Amino acid sequence: MYICVCHAVTDRQIREAVDQGATSLPELQCQLPVASCCGRCETSAREVIDEHLVVRARKSAA
């Protein structure tokens, strides 16, 4: 699913960036051009980051 329509960035790409170390929107933006045009995707991008960080934390705790 596209999170950032302006730059055609998907939730999958955001999760992959989190897997590669991004833990915040600014860190994500070092890898992907999310929220750098109209900004409408900013909240959704933060939600994908936060959700994936929780999933990763649960997996590592198991």
Q: Are 58 and 17 in contact (CB under 8 A)?
A: no
In this structure, what is the dihedral angle of CA atoms 21, 38, 40, 31, given to the nearest 10 degrees? -10
Could you tell me which residues are beta bridge partners of residue 10?
Answer: 2
Q: Which is nearer to ligand FES, 37 or 55 (CB)?
A: 37
25 is an interface residue for ligand FES by CB under 6 A: no
Map residues 33-62 to x or -, x wherever contact with ligand FES holds by CB under 6 A. Answer: -xxxxxxxx---------------------
Q: Should residue 5 be labelled a site residue for ligand FES when binding is judged by CB under 6 A?
A: yes
Contact set with ligand FES (CB under 6 A) = 4-7, 34-41
